[in-house]
Amino acid sequence: MSDPITCYLADLEAQGAAGRTDTARLREEAEDHLREAATRYVEMGLAPDEAAGRAVVDFGDAGSILSEVPHRKGKDMKLRYLAGGLAMISLSGLSFGHITSSGDVVNSAHEPIALAGFAGMVLAGALLALAASAAASLILLLVGGGTYWALSTDATGDLGLYVVSAGHFGSLAAAAFVAWGIARLLGARGATGIGLVAGGVTSLLLNGAHEPLGGLGDGQANLGIAAIGTGWALILVTNLAPRLVNRMRGFVARFLLGLSRKLEPVSQP
Amino acid sequence: MKPDMVRGHLDLLVLAAVDQGATHGYAIADRLRLRTEGNLDLAEGSLYPALYRLEEGGLLKSDWTEANGRRRRVYALTRKGRTALTSKAREWESFSRAVSRVVTQVSPR
C-alpha cells in the first residue's frame, strides 16, 4: 500500500463522487498512465519509489481531475431516462392490473394491462441493466421473459403453484432490476442493495396480497425478508466500507511516513 | 504557458495530438510534451476529462486494447473530429495572427 501509485488510485476511487459514471474507467486509464510514466522515469535512472511519486505529481490532484470528468450524456443517458420513464408507467400499469401471486395470477378484468405492465417492467429493467451490465440485462430478460411467457400463455397448465411462483419470482426480479437500474442512473452507492430491498418489498407485498400479513411465515415472505436484510447489509457495507478502508489507509500511510522520517539517516556534518 | 491558458485550448491540442495516429492517454501527454518542448504547464490527468468530453461530442472514438498485461484505452479521431480539428486549427491560426499583430507592436519599457 506504500506504493504512491496504489495510494493515489485508492484516493481517486475514494474521491470518485457518486454520479461520475466514468470513475472506474478513469481509474483504469490512470493506472496505465501512471505505471507507464513511472517506467519511463525508472529508465531515466530514478529509483522505483521516486519514479512512482514523480508520475503521481505529474498526473495532478485527483479531486480536480474528477471535478472535470463530464457527466454521462448523449444516447446512453437518454436511453436510461427513457427506460426509467417506461419503468414508472409500467409500475402503474402493473399496480392497476394487479398481478398477484393469488391463484388466478392475473386479475382477469385487467389482465392485458397487468401483462403489458409486467412486460414493460422487464423491458425497462433490461434497458437500465444493459447500460451497466450486459450480463445483468441478459439474466433479467431470461427470467422476466420466461415468466411473461408462462403468465401470458398459462403454459404450465394445471401446475398452478409453479405459475404462481414464476409470477412471484419474475415480479420480484423485475422490481429489483428496475430499482437497481434507477439507483445506478442516479449514481447512488449500493445500487445492488437497493435492488434487493425493492425485490424483497415486492415479495412481501405479493405475499401480503395473497394472504394479507398473515402469511409472513411463507417461503415467499421469508425470501422477501432475506432479500431486504441482505439489501440493507449491502447498502451499509457499500457506503461505510470505503470510508473505513480509507481511514485505515490514511492511518497506515501516516504511520509509515512517520516511521520513515524517524529512520531517515541523520546527515553527518 | 499557464494552466488556465492551456485549458482553454486543450481540446484543440488533444485533437492535434491524436491526429498523429491513434494512441493512448500517456502517449498523447508525451506527444504534447515533445511538441511543446515541455512548455505546457498542465496536470497530465486533465487530459482524461478532455478525452471523455471529445468522445462524448463524437470527435474521438476509443477502444480497449491490451498492453504490458494491462488494459489500455486507445483513442482515434472520427471523421467529425477531423473536420472539427481543421476548423479549430484555422480559427486558432487567425486568432493568434490577430493577437500577434497587436502584441508585437508593444515596445518593451
pLDDT in tens, A11-52: 888 777 544 445 778 888 999 999 999 999 999 999 999 999
| B55 in contact with A, Cβ within 8 Å | no
Residue that is written with C-alpha cell 476511487 in the block: A13
Q: Which of A248-252, B20-24, B55-59 has the lowest mean pLDDT?
A: A248-252
Contacts of B40 (CB under 8 A, 6+ apart): B1, B6, B13, B32, B33
Residues on chain B touching A11 (C-beta within 8 angstroms): none
Residues on chain A touching B48 (C-beta within 8 angstroms): 26, 29-30, 65, 69
Inspect the interface and report whether the beta carbons of A73 and B70 lie closer than 8 Å.
no
Find the residue in B nearest to A20 (Cα): B49
Inspect the interface and report whether the beta carbons of A62 and B45 lie closer than 8 Å.
yes
Sheet strands side by side (includes B70-77): B23-24, B70-77, B60-67
Name the residue with higher pLDDT: B93 or A221.
B93
- C-alpha–C-alpha distance, residues B44 and A55, integer Å: 9
Half-sphere exposure of A203 (CA within 13 A, CB side): 26
- C-alpha–C-alpha distance, residues A99 and A83, integer Å: 21
Find the residue in B nearest to A57 (Cα): B43
Rounded to the nearest angstrom, the gap between the alpha carbon of residue A45 and the centroid of all alpha carbons in its chain is 44
Residues B51-86: tens digit of each pLDDT:
999 998 889 999 888 887 788 999 999 999 999 999
Residues on chain A touching B23 (C-beta within 8 angstroms): none
The pTM (predicted TM-score) of the whole model is: 0.51
Residues on chain A touching B70 (C-beta within 8 angstroms): 31-32, 35
Inspect the interface and report whether the beta carbons of B43 and A32 lie closer than 8 Å.
no
| B53 in contact with A, Cβ within 8 Å | yes
Task: Specify whether the CB–CB gap between A185 and A86 falls below 8 A.
Answer: no
ipTM above 0.90, yes or no: no
Find the residue in B nearest to A74 (Cα): B56
pLDDT at position A51 is 92
Rounded to the nearest angstrom, the gap between the alpha carbon of residue A168 and the centroid of all alpha carbons in its chain is 23
Residues in chain A: 269
Size of interface A-B (CB pairs under 8 A): 66
Residues on chain A touching B49 (C-beta within 8 angstroms): 65, 68-70
Q: Is the pLDDT of residue A215 over 80?
A: no
- C-alpha–C-alpha distance, residues B11 and B54, integer Å: 7
